[in-house]
Copies of this chain bind each other. A is one copy, B any other.
């Protein structure tokens, strides 16, 4: 397959990080080849779907063999844009924010939190990992000066939209939002919501 025929479906994009992590795991076990069948088995996915997803981006496999693990991992990293480090700001250093911040330090992922912000005066100056919490007033300048395109929002619901607006105004293009509100963003800005309450409530249905 050549390059992007059409816009690539979101569902596909969301599976790529899953493939990537799986491949990285295989690498750590020194596996150097894997078939779509094996992947499908391990990831609970249809092998054809995996092949189809991958073939959107190129002919990565070898007929009769499968995929070379580290090669495919590289390709996926590049496709996702994870071959360069992606700096992130986190706004709202409450419990969850602090947890994410700590979590981020242990991973050797391309996405890296480089700035912490909070509107609560008592929080300013607190240190989490190697980062000091900065006041909201500095947010826009910081984002602009460091050319930051991605942000995590972990402020209370009531503050989320105004934080979001500030981020967008400063040039942020992708937001992972933990506040339980629907954020309003202009075209071209991507929001991914993550909401524990919603997930628990949906799970409750199946009991």
List A residues at the B interface (Cβ < 8 Å). 13-14, 16-18, 20-21, 42-44, 79-82, 86, 88, 94-96, 98-100, 102-103, 107, 109-111, 149-150, 152, 173-176, 180, 182, 190, 192, 194, 196-207
Name which residue of chain B comes closest to A107, CB basis.
B197
Check A201/B20 contact, CB under 8 A, given A150-B207, A206-B173, A206-B174.
yes
How many copies of the chain does the oligomer comprise?
2
Question: In the complex the two chains form, what is the Cα distance from A71 to B199 in whole Å?
Answer: 23
Q: Determine if A98 and B95 form an interchain contact, defined as CB atoms under 8 angstroms apart.
A: yes
| Shortest beta-carbon distance from A43 to chain B in Å | 6
User: In the complex, what residues of B have CB within 8 A of residue A180's CB?
Assistant: 21
**Cβ-defined partner of A182 (8 Å) among B20, B42, B82:** B42
Check A150/B103 contact, CB under 8 A, given A79-B205, A205-B13, A206-B190.
no
Question: In the complex the two chains form, what is the Cα distance from A43 to B100 in whole Å?
Answer: 27
Q: Determine if B203 and A150 form an interchain contact, defined as CB atoms under 8 angstroms apart.
A: yes
15 new A-B pairs (CB below 8 Å) besides A43-B182, A109-B197, A173-B206?
A16-B201, A16-B205, A18-B198, A20-B201, A42-B182, A79-B205, A80-B201, A88-B200, A94-B99, A96-B103, A98-B99, A103-B196, A107-B197, A109-B200, A110-B204
